[in-house]
Amino acid sequence: MNSRFFASDNCSGIHPQIMDAIVEVNHGHVKGYGHDHITEKAISDIKQIFGNQAEVFFVFSGTGANVIGLQGCLRSYEAIICSDVAHIHTDEAGAPERFLQSKLITIPSINGKINANQIKPLLIGRGVEHHVQPKLISITQSTEYGTIYSIEEIKAITNIAKEENLYVHMDGARVSNAAAALGKSPIEFTKEAGIDVMSFGGTKNGMMMGEAVIFLNPDLAKSTMYQRKQNAQLASKMRFISAQFSAFFKDDLWLNMAVHSNRMAKALEKSLLKFKEIIITQPVEVNAIFAIFPPQIIPLLQEEFPFYVWNEFTNEVRLMCSWDTTQQDIDAFSLKVEQLINKHL
């Protein structure tokens, strides 16, 4: 149990304040399915950030949050435009296609990001009955490659969306890390930047489990309470997700955890830059590092510090830092890298 993982930010445990919040609500009886004062409070905590108009739905998983958020916006013949590395495209076992029956139209990304100029050429065949009808652009903030969209980049995308009558969804599984990196309140790069619906991830940032689907455009949430149930994402003991969110937002815990994991990634980057055998492949903007490692040392390193190989052809690996990653973890990892390079290269 002492092993320290760089595989994902969901390998770490639960922040003690969040665990305490779960224990605190673990007495007495309350109504199920979110009809309780603990859930009411958590929703109002989120509305404090995003405004009273926002419609908030708690769900179990990031994949579930994406499905529920997207479902409010789309009919089965309407298509989603997203990057070729979008989690909804590559890592959800086809959940969006299955639950929404919508086609995904992917765009080549650079550093995990798409840009506004790539959208218009895809808008062909609109109004033609033989073609799927693009209706939504989905972006991920922070991206699957640990980068962030600036507010200007987001606005450029949402402006095109407005002109072309498209909605914009943000997969915010790691939106805390993006907020920490941008130094902005999430409302500034979501609602105020023209995002219609987003997920706000909790699990990857110190929660046990739980994500929030937030409709910033409340008109899109009219059927969501039914869709959440139909898609098996309605928690009967909702209070245990809700209590986590209230603790998460109390005294900026969410932000402090994200600031910390981002800082640890920077420290890890710094420690790896000294090895000429390692090439950092993406800008390190949040809590992820992508780097090409010498293949001889990857499995040996993984034995002690599990992490994923992102691309087995190029030997690009992903290293993720968590709210509980320490400088000692980084020093130990870096020392092991050094020992293995000296021994095997």
Ligand X SMILES: Cc1ncc(COP(=O)(O)O)c(C=O)c1O
Q: Is 217 in the site for ligand X (CB under 6 A)?
A: no
CB of 61 to ligand X, least distance (A): 4
Binding residues among 48-67 for ligand X as defined by CB under 6 A = 61-63, 66
Output 114 or 278, the one with its CB closest to ligand X: 114
CB of 303 to ligand X, least distance (A): 23
Q: If binding means CB under 6 A, how many residues of this protein chain bind ligand X?
A: 10
CA-closest candidate to residue 97, choices 46, 63, 141: 63
Binding residues among 146-205 for ligand X as defined by CB under 6 A = 171, 173, 203
Q: Is 87 in the site for ligand X (CB under 6 A)?
A: yes
Q: What angle (nearest 5°) sits at the alpha carbon of residue 195, between those of residues 87 and 55? A: 95
- Which residue's structure tokens are 């769900």? 59
Output 232 or 273, the one with its CB closest to ligand X: 232
Output 203 or 242, the one with its CB closest to ligand X: 203
Binding residues among 220-279 for ligand X as defined by CB under 6 A = none
Output 140 or 325, the one with its CB closest to ligand X: 140
Among 36, 55, 78, 144, binds ligand X (CB under 6 A): 144
CB of 220 to ligand X, least distance (A): 19
CA distance 97 to 302: 33
Judge contact between 336 and 275, C-beta under 8 A. no
Beta strands in the chain, from DSSP E residues, in sequence order: 55-59, 78-83, 104-107, 133-140, 167-171, 197-201, 211-215, 279-280, 288-292, 308-311, 316-320
CA-based torsion, 247, 249, 255, 261: positive or negative: positive
Output 62 or 337, the one with its CB closest to ligand X: 62
- Cβ-closest position to ligand X: 62
Cβ-Cβ contacts under 8 Å for 77 (sequence gap 6 or more): 102, 132, 133
Judge contact between 204 and 289, C-beta under 8 A. no
Output 155 or 174, the one with its CB closest to ligand X: 174
CB of 144 to ligand X, least distance (A): 5
Give the Å distances, CA to CA, from 8 to 81, 248, 271: 26, 19, 19
CB of 10 to ligand X, least distance (A): 7
Among 12, 39, 138, 140, binds ligand X (CB under 6 A): 140
Judge contact between 330 and 270, C-beta under 8 A. no
Output 83 or 217, the one with its CB closest to ligand X: 83
Interacting residues toward ligand X by CB under 6 A: 61-63, 66, 87, 140, 144, 171, 173, 203
